[in-house]
Structure 1
Amino acid sequence: MPRPTGLPVVASTQSVPAPTLVLSSRLDERRQAALVALVGPGSGADRELDVRATGSALPPPTSYEAVLLDTATDALDPAWLVALLDHVSHGASLVVMVNRAAPSWPTELASIAVAAGPLTGQAEWFARLVSPTNPLTRRLGPPRPAGGDAAPELAVLDRLCPLEVGPAGEVLVSVSMAFSDRAVVVAGSLGAGRVVVSGLGNTAEALAHPDLATILRRSLAPPLTWGDRLATPRTLGLAVVGYGPYGGMGTYHATAAQVTDGLEFVATCDSNPDRRKAAEHDFPGVRAYTTVDELAADDDVEVVVVATPPVAHADIALRLLRAGKHVACEKPLCFTVAQADQLMVTARQHERVLTVNQNRRWDPDFLAIRRAVDRGLLGQLFNVETFVGGFEHPCRAWHSHTAVSGGAVYDWGSHHLDWALLLMGGMPATVVAHGHKRVWHDVTNLDQVRVHLTWPDGREAEFLQSDVAAVRRPKFWVQGTAGTMVGWYRPLSVERVEPVRGHVVERFHHAEAPADLTLARYESGYGTTETRLPPSPAQPFAFHANLANHLLAGEPLAVTPESARRVVAVLEAAQRSCEDGGSAVSLRPMDES
């Protein structure tokens, strides 16, 4: 029996909503930039944005599908405000950013929330998602511990205005203030429309908080169109092709689906009967298929993760896209740009989503580096170097055989070169790669490969992977015009004493723990200072949460097929350069797409 699906899942092509009006009485340069980043081009809202200062001439409210008031209502023309509230009651969305009590607060808004105090000083507030299953706050905040029921909390730096909740209001977010919970984001209905009153978001830093920004962006979604997808609970059936048990990627994706709101692990496909049995044992009730065609015929399956060895990625993904399934592929997406282009065209033709599990984008050490770069702590980057490896026998699974894995650069290079492209921006002009085959002759991958990228403006990046490096280099070496960041590996081991066996040491892969990060900066007239940077908070299964948010709520896809194609373009060029003795390979301008 096909599972009930309710409203259609967001496809890769969407109609463009009517414009959004942002009306502000505090429109300095920083705040305007923060508001545009919140709901403007590039935010994923995919709508035209009209930003105006209070006091300017305003078109009729009916010109807009959503309105964000970043001003007290007593600063507005009373007739225009009446028309706005009437427009909202007929299906538009309204977000009101509150920074002070308004003496003439409309009764329609007072039934939802009113300001209950003056604006506080700037401080770190722990914002609690009181209604984590509400459509506006679903799948936000850090994941709850297994079996835990505590509401997720967000650390937000802001000046806030506490709210008093009206009879028609539902508290979405509260903060602890003077040992009591105070509402700061409240939602309610006004006729057929939605109103959200927020006492958070009074600083540019707060508006940049990813979870608060998502709440406000969702609040501007038109309730009567694609916003209804938020209000209708949906669960997407997820399947995995290639079930690697014992902590492998099949187990990983299945577990992620089970703990991610909006996803459910319903089926797997593997030609190995032992692995099918393992899936059925690990996840009772899951359906286990032998062939991709059998899986594709299951109407309960809407999203498929392709977790086979890389040589099969492109073919399986194409078959699933043509069968009407959304596809999330393990890295690398494929081996060649031609394959990537065919996959992207097929996804567009069938209006299906195509993405890649570039899960290392959420590594705590990499996120800390991006945070430092985004805050300008390194100045303008001009060199990024990364390393992975040691001196030990390569694994004897398919990862070490070129015909199956694509070659040494396609494994860890899929992550490290993705990092380099994200940090540097744009595409390099040339790729040069050199490899060595000197020690491990029972596998076909190179023992060591070095990939050097050069951008048109002279900036450069380098990735080194080696199974013959007896002394490890830093994981990260990032240079900018204001400083340098270095990240050192810290291999983990656990020692214990067991009965009979005695002393036991359990060692983990050196890349599993976040690197120790040090930022060195030069100060004129003073010298060089060093600062230890902690890793960013872990975000387990962030890829899967984003996938659910994109398919169910139309939010931006974190790993677009275009970004995955850029990685493939560099990988293919590196492989070609290496096979040609290290000759330079130029990337075509179209590889920017």
Structure 2
Amino acid sequence: MEKQLNVGLIGYGFAGRAFHAPVITSVPGLNLRKVVERRSDFSKKRYPWVEIVRSADDLYRDPEIDLVVVTTPSTNHVEFVRDALNADKHVVVEKPFTATAEEADELIELAKEKNKVLSVFHNRRWDGDFMTIREILQNGLIGEVKECEFHWDSFNPIAASTNWREKSGLGTGVLYDLGVHLIDQAVCLFGIPNMISADVHIQREGAAAHDYFDLTLFYDRHLKVSLKSSRMVRTRGPRYTLHGDKGSFIKYGLDPQEQALIDGHTPANSRDWGKEPEELWGSIDTTVGGLNVKGTIETIPGAYQDYYQNIYEHITGVSDLVVKPEEARMNIRLIELALESHKEGKVIPIRL
């Protein structure tokens, strides 16, 4: 019989409700056993078998809880992750990992001391468009990439949200919230850059946290990677644009998994989970084997469940950990350097 790992979920806000709980319950080896909800019982309506507890301490004290998943605001990740590791639990934490690289270093060291698994939920590595781009590059379909742009734009010109991400302070704002995903994808594809420059601003009147960024990552081989986000984009452009010495790949649209999860679907109850409609497939214009090729490439179906499948397999000794905490720490370090670049108005060399 397959070994079962009992999971305790801290927080049932948007991240816990829309992402973690439905994906965790789609992995056969994971048993969502307890959910920390301070004042409500919302999770029990969808998962009637779970036990609702009011304090994270209940998870830490329970010897049957193997894995603690932290989905609280990133500004207090350190406290919950530290306490869970000290209670000898494996830990998955929502991105961004921490507000500073120093905090990340502390948690990584503690996980090593306790011999426990620590990983950050960088689920966008399992977006279908990103998975497709990775295959395009690995197969050399557009040659050596020289320039690319990743965008995460929206149209929300009025700053009216009271969400923690919109408040002032370290660890808030769109660079931590969305930029960390684009940084993680860029580093996965191209490695750690040599230099970084950044323009980080508040565009919307009344906003307290930065809501715009334009980052440039500089690499050897004359590669430049631009990462951008704005809340003032009413007409969306491409999400991904890549130009290589053999051709180009351009992709519009957002991975469908997030909306499917919000709508109540899960990888376990959906026949075509993560499959993108043909009208959103990316376009390629390139040369293969001396032949000019122009058309579309079918998007690989996204698979957020594979993140938690890997967590299960790593804890049970079957697979290596895919999202390592050191990688998530690097993303935070690049955010720190981006903010430094913006403040000083110059290109900053990467200092790990």
Which TM-score bucket, shorter chain as reference?
0.7 to 0.9
Structure number with the bigger relative contact order (C-alpha 8 A, sep ≥ 6) is 2
- Give the 3-state SS of the residue equivalent to 2:238 in structure 1: coil
In 1, the alpha carbon distance for the partners of 2:23 and 2:323 equals: 17
- Give the 3-state SS of the residue equivalent to 2:6 in structure 1: strand
Change (3 A) 1:270 1:584: farther
2:193 matches 1:428:
yes
Change (3 A) 1:457 1:375: closer
Give 1:576 deviation, angstroms: 2.6
Q: Report what 1:446 is aligned to.
A: 210
Amino acid at match of 1:252: F
Q: Report what 1:302 is aligned to.
A: 66
Amino acid at match of 2:197: V
2:135 matches 1:368:
no
Q: Report what 2:180 is aligned to.
A: 414
Aligned mate of 1:583, from 323, 335, 346: 346
Q: Report what 2:250 is aligned to.
A: 486
Amino acid at match of 1:262: G
Across the two proteins, how many residue pairs are aligned to each other? Answer: 331
Q: Residues 328-347 of structure 1: matches in 2 within 5 Å?
A: 328-347=92-111
Change (3 A) 1:546 1:523: closer
Q: How well do the aligned residues superpose, as a CA RMSD in angstroms? A: 2.5
In 1, the alpha carbon distance for the partners of 2:17 and 2:8 equals: 9
In 1, the alpha carbon distance for the partners of 2:255 and 2:113 equals: 46
2:260 matches 1:260:
no
In 2, the alpha carbon distance for the partners of 1:402 and 1:408 equals: 11
Q: Report what 2:6 is aligned to.
A: 237
In 1, the alpha carbon distance for the partners of 2:211 and 2:88 equals: 41
Aligned mate of 2:282, from 507, 517, 521: 517
2:164 matches 1:401:
no
In 2, the alpha carbon distance for the partners of 1:454 and 1:413 equals: 17
Change (3 A) 1:395 1:521: farther
Query: Do the aligned partners of 2:173 and 2:210 also contact (CA within 8 Å) in 1?
Result: yes
With normalisation by structure 1, the TM-score equals: 0.52
Query: Which shifted more, 343-352 or 383-392?
Result: 383-392
Query: Do the aligned partners of 1:384 and 1:477 also contact (CA within 8 Å) in 2?
Result: yes
Query: Do the aligned partners of 1:402 and 1:408 also contact (CA within 8 Å) in 2?
Result: no
Change (3 A) 1:313 1:379: same
Give 1:331 deviation, angstroms: 0.8
2:302 matches 1:538:
yes
Structure 1: which 5+ runs fail to align? 1-231, 493-505, 507-511
Change (3 A) 1:525 1:557: closer
Query: Which shifted more, 363-372 or 387-396?
Result: 387-396
Q: Report what 1:7 is aligned to.
A: none
Amino acid at match of 2:61: A
Change (3 A) 1:384 1:402: farther
Change (3 A) 1:300 1:564: same
Q: Residues 13-32 of structure 1: matches in 2 within 5 Å?
A: none
- Give the 3-state SS of the residue equivalent to 2:25 in structure 1: helix
In 2, the alpha carbon distance for the partners of 1:348 and 1:438 equals: 41
Give 1:523 deviation, angstroms: 7.0
Change (3 A) 1:395 1:473: farther
Structure 2: which 5+ runs fail to align? 257-262, 264-274
- Percent sequence identity over matched residues? 26
Amino acid at match of 2:182: H
Q: Report what 1:475 is aligned to.
A: 239
Greater strand fraction, Structure 1 or Structure 2: 1
- Give the 3-state SS of the residue equivalent to 1:399 in structure 2: helix
Aligned mate of 1:571, from 319, 335, 348: 335
Amino acid at match of 1:469: V
- Give the 3-state SS of the residue equivalent to 2:323 in structure 1: coil
In 1, the alpha carbon distance for the partners of 2:100 and 2:221 equals: 26
Q: Report what 2:152 is aligned to.
A: 388
Amino acid at match of 2:87: A
Q: Residues 500-511 of structure 1: matches in 2 within 5 Å?
A: none
In 2, the alpha carbon distance for the partners of 1:301 and 1:525 equals: 57
With normalisation by structure 2, the TM-score equals: 0.86
2:324 matches 1:557:
no
Change (3 A) 1:535 1:330: same
